Structure 1
Amino acid sequence: MQHTAPLSATPAAYLAKHSPDAPVLFIAPSVLQATARRFQADFDGLVTYAVKANDRTEVLSNLVAAGITTFDVASPAEMAAVRAVCPQAVLHYNNPVRSAAEVKAGIAAGVYSWSIDDMSELAKLRDVPRDNEVAVRFALPVKGAAYDFGSKFGAAPEQAAALLRAVVEMGFTPSMCFHPGTQCNDPQAWVQYVHAAADILRAAGVSIKRMNIGGGFAVDRGFDAPDHRAVFAAVKAALVESFGAEAPTLLCEPGRAMVADAAVLATRIKGMRNEGRTVFLNDGIYGGLPDLRDMGLSGLVDVVGPEGALRQGAPTPRVVFGPTCDSLDRLPDGLPMPEDAQTGDYLLFGGMGAYSIAMSTAFNGYGLAGVALVSDLGAQPKRKAA
């Protein structure tokens, strides 16, 4: 009989018991499953998961337990990770640039839906079964995201219309997809895309049965709580206005918004200098904290002592370095930490389920590799943006 060890109650309890000297990502399955169920309840369409945010088995298996059975994969490795957890999963291969070997791997893995944004990429799909869906990915110069994906992927509207016609001519099931950009909290970004999609389809003389509105849904980083329901309501209204009775069904592919809130990253203070104003951690931008470099400091940071007690001193801005020998291994300046923080304490970064362990390297022999499951993540602080 298989034995499963009981979960630690909280990250602080685990740290007090085990005193790890390497960074640990704490995942709460209850939070992860609740987020997945909330997306499925609130979104009027198919909810898929963008595996790139976190491909750990612990994450994928809990999403499947919560009812997620369709996954956005960007590589053969992600296909294999999903199939290992859910052999019957539906795979959407929405990385629009692929090698011939990757196309072959996608066919072998049973990918159903493919995205393209260029005629050369459509030509690579000549051996894909004709009952598959091919979605034309297009891009617009919309605002509202932390950074835009349109500079890398997405056809211009005129090109998208030509691609749709070519998809139909090759015998595939046509569809459309877009991505408004990372950490987007402006419903109007999605509205503009929905209206543009209708215009493109009219220009192409093509109809579609469903449309992928992408990911990019914002998460709470400790400053402003996102309103996903407002986004979904705006999309539904735009769909009715643009398509009327011929509106396609929808699907979305949250990555960050699906997993971020379900994890806390614990790092340890290795040393302090300049009367505590400079802090050295056992993890940094080459490990589990690259997202802070790209997105800015988080407002979800606690400090606990080795025994698990919360430090409650007045917050003081610090300069924070990671553990490697590279001087670039530095977080944005001004991370608030309690004035009574000490060497040996743990910093708990909330909202770190996405793009933490997924992007961690082993540079200099450091990096985030440890995962522990917990029953509860504990209360997370909320701070005003600087």
Structure 2
Amino acid sequence: MPMGLTEGRGPKTVWSNPAEIIRRLTPENPVMVFAPSVLRAAAQRFLQGFPGLVTYAVKSNPDEAVIRTLSAAGVKGFDVASPYEIDLIGRLAPDAARHYHNPVRSQAEIAHAVEAGIKSWSVDSRSELDKLFVRVPAENCEISPRFKLPVLGAAYDFGSKFGASPELAAELLRAVADRGYIPSLTFHPGTQCTDPHAWESYITTAAEICAMAGVKARRLNVGGGFPSHRVTGVEPDLTAIFQLIRRVTDEAFGTDAPQLVCEPGRGLCADAFALITRVKAVRDGQNVFLNDGVYGGLFELPIVGNLDRLQVLTPEGTPREDEPMPRIIFGPTCDSVDRLPGELTLPANIQEGDYVIFHGAGAYSTVTNTRFNGFGLMAHLTVNALE
């Protein structure tokens, strides 16, 4: 491995941009580059635009540099889904709120969270609520029933695994209030919701749930789903999403409007990273083989769809410019599943040894990277800018 590259967090050097890394180091293995300035800007976009508390979904990228950067930027809450994430935030951001919104937990996980001082929980079933009633003290403790609706405008549906029907959510909300806990509600509209109206029916239904239960919700967590910039020329309009959430909440709840909470993961961290991959081969002038794929930093592309914000650079760090040509792209493993969906457009004169940079690769990439088939070695470097 060339000087300056290590698996895990790299040297303290801050590079200008990915092109400089390619020009100076010619890395043979994938490199994930992080631009803290981009993450800080994303945090400010949410903190200044969202009409409520912003909490970061740690699962999307739990890198310590990400957590520290967000905390320093003013993010005061984190959505945690496991004892590991509870302890991670307790160590890195001890004054921040931790919302334990994975609605299914073992007895041991509940005990760990209680010991850690967790005060905000979600739930989507009677059996899980009964477990909380037994182990979680009611004083100053919030429990948020999580409900689901048919998916609309999302890349994939979280409701197939989590979420109660509105009717059951009303029963759970009533039970929470009756037992002396702080009653709130939560939902998740799905991932990569580019249409603001994905939130509209959920917020309206939340008001109906409160009416059915005869309970005023303290807070309404409108989930994640906030999109990142995945497609060239189609930048998400987060302002429109924020404005719709505020307007629909006021219209649906009137004077009983709950405090709002959101839990973006992808929408905060994805665009602060770019993945540098190298071309292993251009087989017979057609299919492109990269040194990373779906068992590595590109794991989620077959699920969510391709990232098409690409740069192709020569080993000298200069853009490879030629007529665009659709290509099938394979990863490095000896497994036919290791293929990106459909085709991606790359310069016709792309060559072995060139570099393909996937911009917006910061979410669900480093955490899902495996060492399957002996591949997956990935360096992590910091840059001032991504282009």
Deviations along 1:77-112, one digit per CA (max 9) or x if unpaired, are 112222231122211011101111111121122222
Structure 2 CA distance for aligned equivalents of residues 113 and 297 of structure 1: 35
Structure 1 counterpart of 2:244: 234
Residue 304 of structure 2 is aligned to residue 290 of structure 1? no
Structure 1 counterpart of 2:136: 128
Structure 2 CA distance for aligned equivalents of residues 183 and 329 of structure 1: 23
Is 1:25–1:368's contact at 8 Å kept on the other side of the alignment?
no
Structure 2 residue identity aligned to 1:129? P
Structure 1 residue identity aligned to 2:314? G
Structure 2 CA distance for aligned equivalents of residues 165 and 18 of structure 1: 60
More moved, 175-184 vs 219-228: 219-228
Is 2:151–2:159's contact at 8 Å kept on the other side of the alignment?
no
Residue 324 of structure 2 is aligned to residue 309 of structure 1? no
How far the C-alpha of 1:359 sits from its partner, in A, is 1.2
Is 1:283–1:368's contact at 8 Å kept on the other side of the alignment?
no
Percentage identity across paired residues of the two chains: 51
Is 2:13–2:382's contact at 8 Å kept on the other side of the alignment?
no
Structure 1 CA distance for aligned equivalents of residues 135 and 298 of structure 2: 41
Residue 146 of structure 2 is aligned to residue 137 of structure 1? yes
Structure 1 CA distance for aligned equivalents of residues 86 and 324 of structure 2: 44
In structure 2, relative to structure 1, the CA distance for the partners of 1:109 and 1:192 (3 Å cut) is same
In structure 2, relative to structure 1, the CA distance for the partners of 1:260 and 1:368 (3 Å cut) is farther
Residue 21 of structure 2 is aligned to residue 11 of structure 1? no
Structure 1 CA distance for aligned equivalents of residues 342 and 216 of structure 2: 51
What are the residue-to-residue correspondences of 1:256-271 with 2, within 5 Å?
A: 256-271=266-281
How far the C-alpha of 1:368 sits from its partner, in A, is 5.3
How far the C-alpha of 1:254 sits from its partner, in A, is 0.4
Is 1:288–1:368's contact at 8 Å kept on the other side of the alignment?
no
Instruction: Give the 3-state SS of the residue equivalent to 1:348 in structure 2.
Output: strand
Instruction: Give the 3-state SS of the residue equivalent to 1:200 in structure 2.
Output: helix
Structure 1 residue identity aligned to 2:81? A
Matched residues, number: 374
Deviations along 1:225-283, one digit per CA (max 9) or x if unpaired, are 211111111111111111111211101000000011111001111122122x1111111
Residue 260 of structure 2 is aligned to residue 253 of structure 1? no
Structure 2 CA distance for aligned equivalents of residues 310 and 112 of structure 1: 51
More moved, 195-204 vs 84-93: 84-93
Structure 2 counterpart of 1:70: 77
Structure 2 CA distance for aligned equivalents of residues 183 and 119 of structure 1: 30
Structure 2 residue identity aligned to 1:374? V
Structure 1 CA distance for aligned equivalents of residues 18 and 88 of structure 2: 26
Structure 1 CA distance for aligned equivalents of residues 128 and 254 of structure 2: 32
Structure 1 CA distance for aligned equivalents of residues 222 and 257 of structure 2: 13
Structure 1 CA distance for aligned equivalents of residues 377 and 258 of structure 2: 42
Structure 2 residue identity aligned to 1:366? F
Structure 2 counterpart of 1:47: 54
How far the C-alpha of 1:169 sits from its partner, in A, is 2.3
Structure 2 counterpart of 1:382: none
Structure 2 residue identity aligned to 1:257? G
Structure 2 residue identity aligned to 1:263? F
More moved, 81-90 vs 167-176: 81-90
Unaligned segments of structure 2, at least 5 residues: 1-10
How far the C-alpha of 1:142 sits from its partner, in A, is 3.9
Structure 1 counterpart of 2:196: 187
Instruction: Give the 3-state SS of the residue equivalent to 1:217 in structure 2.
Output: coil
Structure 2 counterpart of 1:384: none
Give the aligned CA root-mean-square deviation in angstroms.
1.3
Structure 1 residue identity aligned to 2:98? L
Match of 1:339 among 337, 342, 348: 348
Structure 1 CA distance for aligned equivalents of residues 224 and 44 of structure 2: 16
Structure 2 CA distance for aligned equivalents of residues 349 and 67 of structure 1: 28
Instruction: Give the 3-state SS of the residue equivalent to 1:182 in structure 2.
Output: coil
Residue 382 of structure 2 is aligned to residue 373 of structure 1? yes
Structure 2 CA distance for aligned equivalents of residues 84 and 143 of structure 1: 37
Unaligned segments of structure 1, at least 5 residues: 379-386
Per the normalisation by structure 2, the TM-score is 0.94
Residue 32 of structure 2 is aligned to residue 25 of structure 1? yes
Is 1:175–1:210's contact at 8 Å kept on the other side of the alignment?
yes
Instruction: Give the 3-state SS of the residue equivalent to 2:260 in structure 1.
Output: strand
Structure 2 CA distance for aligned equivalents of residues 104 and 365 of structure 1: 38
More moved, 283-292 vs 164-173: 164-173
Residue 66 of structure 2 is aligned to residue 59 of structure 1? yes
Is 1:271–1:279's contact at 8 Å kept on the other side of the alignment?
yes
Per the normalisation by structure 1, the TM-score is 0.94
Please list every run of at least 4 consecutive aligned residues from structure 1 whose deviation after the TM superposition is greater than 3 angstroms. Answer: none
Structure 1 counterpart of 2:42: 35
Structure 2 residue identity aligned to 1:128? V
How far the C-alpha of 1:150 sits from its partner, in A, is 1.0
Is 1:219–1:260's contact at 8 Å kept on the other side of the alignment?
yes
Structure 2 CA distance for aligned equivalents of residues 177 and 151 of structure 1: 16
How far the C-alpha of 1:221 sits from its partner, in A, is 1.1
Structure 1 counterpart of 2:110: 103
Residue 226 of structure 2 is aligned to residue 217 of structure 1? yes
